[in-house]
Chain A
Amino acid sequence: MAKAYRIEVMACTGTGCVSNGAFEVIEAIREELKKKNLHSEVDIIATGCNGICALGPIMVVKPDNIFYKEITKKDVPYLVEEHFLKGRPVKKFMYTPPEEKEPIPLLNEINFFTKQVLVALRNRGLVDPEVIEDYIARDGYAAFAKAITEMTPEKVIQEITASGLRGRGGAGFPTGLKWQAVRRATSEEKFIICNGDEGDPGAFMDRSIVESDPHSVIEGLLIGAYATGASKAFVYIRNEYPLAVKRIEIAIEQARDRGLIGEKIFGLDFNFDIKIVRGAGAFVCGEETALIASVEGRLGEPRPRPPYPAEKGLWGRPTCINNVETWATVPVIISRGAKWFSSMGTATSKGTKVFSLVGKVNNTGLIEVPMGITLKEIIYDIGGGITDGKKFKAVQTGGPSGGCITAALLDLPIDYESLTAAGSMMGSGGMVVMDEETCMVDIARYFLSFTAYESCGKCTPCREGTAEMLKILERICNGNGQPSDLETLGTLSHAIKEGSLCGLGKTAPNPVLSTMKYFKEEYESHIYKKKCPAKTCRKLNEYVIDEKRCLSVGHGCDICKKECAYDAIIGQTKEAHRIIQEKCVKCGSCYDVCKFNAININ
Chain B
Amino acid sequence: MGKLSIEDLAKIKEESKRKMNLRDGEYKAKINVHMGTCGIAAGARTIVDALLREIEKKDIKEIMVTTSGCAGLCSREPMATVEIKGGAPVKYADLTEAKIIKILNEHALAGKVVKEYALAVGSEKTTA
**A372–B69 CA distance with the chains assembled, in angstroms:** 45
In the complex, chain B residues whose CB is within 8 Å of the CB of A260: 4
- What's the nearest-Cβ distance from chain A to residue B79, in Å? 12
Q: Please determine whether B66 and A259 come into contact, CB atoms closer than 8 angstroms.
A: no
B95 lies within 8 A of chain A by Cβ: no
In the complex, chain B residues whose CB is within 8 Å of the CB of A87: 34-35, 66-69
In the complex, chain B residues whose CB is within 8 Å of the CB of A258: 1-4
Partner of B64, one of A1, A63, A267: A63
Partner of B23, one of A8, A136, A140, A141: A8
**A149–B9 CA distance with the chains assembled, in angstroms:** 14
- What's the nearest-Cβ distance from chain A to residue B108, in Å? 13
Q: Which B-chain residue is minimally distant from A266 (CB atoms)?
A: B6
In the complex, chain A residues whose CB is within 8 Å of the CB of B18: 2, 4
Q: Flag the segment in B52-60, B84-92, B109-117 that touches A.
A: B52-60
A35 lies within 8 A of chain B by Cβ: no
**A8–B16 CA distance with the chains assembled, in angstroms:** 14
Interface string of A138-155 (1 = CB under 8 A from B): 111110010001000000
**A422–B12 CA distance with the chains assembled, in angstroms:** 49
- What's the nearest-Cβ distance from chain A to residue B32, in Å? 8
**A133–B68 CA distance with the chains assembled, in angstroms:** 31
**A145–B12 CA distance with the chains assembled, in angstroms:** 14
Q: Which of B22-70 contact A (CB under 8 A)?
A: 22-25, 27, 34-37, 40, 48-49, 52-53, 55-57, 59-60, 64-69
B15 lies within 8 A of chain A by Cβ: yes
A472 lies within 8 A of chain B by Cβ: no
B99 lies within 8 A of chain A by Cβ: no
Q: Please determine whether A145 and B69 come into contact, CB atoms closer than 8 angstroms.
A: no
Number of interface residues of A (CB under 8 A): 38
Given contacts A137-B16, A137-B20, A141-B9, A63 and B25 within 8 Å (CB-CB): yes
**A141–B21 CA distance with the chains assembled, in angstroms:** 19
In the complex, chain A residues whose CB is within 8 Å of the CB of B4: 141, 258-260, 266
Q: Which B-chain residue is minimally distant from A38 (CB atoms)?
A: B45
Chain A contact residues: helix, strand, loop or mixed: loop
B102 lies within 8 A of chain A by Cβ: no
B76 lies within 8 A of chain A by Cβ: no
**A142–B13 CA distance with the chains assembled, in angstroms:** 10
Q: Please determine whether A134 and B16 come into contact, CB atoms closer than 8 angstroms.
A: yes
A85 lies within 8 A of chain B by Cβ: yes
Q: Please determine whether A3 and B56 come into contact, CB atoms closer than 8 angstroms.
A: yes
Q: Please determine whether B5 and A267 come into contact, CB atoms closer than 8 angstroms.
A: yes
Given contacts A10-B23, A87-B66, A40 and B49 within 8 Å (CB-CB): yes
Given contacts A63-B64, A63-B66, A137 and B19 within 8 Å (CB-CB): yes
**A141–B3 CA distance with the chains assembled, in angstroms:** 13
A173 lies within 8 A of chain B by Cβ: no
- What's the nearest-Cβ distance from chain A to residue B57, in Å? 8
In the complex, chain B residues whose CB is within 8 Å of the CB of A267: 5
**A149–B6 CA distance with the chains assembled, in angstroms:** 9
Q: Please determine whether A85 and B16 come into contact, CB atoms closer than 8 angstroms.
A: no
**A511–B37 CA distance with the chains assembled, in angstroms:** 62
**A2–B16 CA distance with the chains assembled, in angstroms:** 8
- What's the nearest-Cβ distance from chain B to residue A3, in Å? 6
**A40–B36 CA distance with the chains assembled, in angstroms:** 19
Q: Please determine whether B66 and A6 come into contact, CB atoms closer than 8 angstroms.
A: yes
Q: A5-B19, A86-B37, A258-B4 are in contact. List 5 more A-B contacts (CB 8 A).
A: A2-B16, A3-B56, A40-B52, A63-B66, A259-B3
8 interchain residue pairs of minimum CB distance: A259-B3, A137-B16, A87-B67, A87-B68, A6-B65, A4-B55, A4-B56, A63-B25
Q: Can you give 11 A-B contacts (C-beta < 8 A)? A: A1-B56, A1-B59, A3-B56, A7-B66, A8-B19, A10-B23, A41-B48, A62-B23, A85-B35, A145-B9, A259-B4
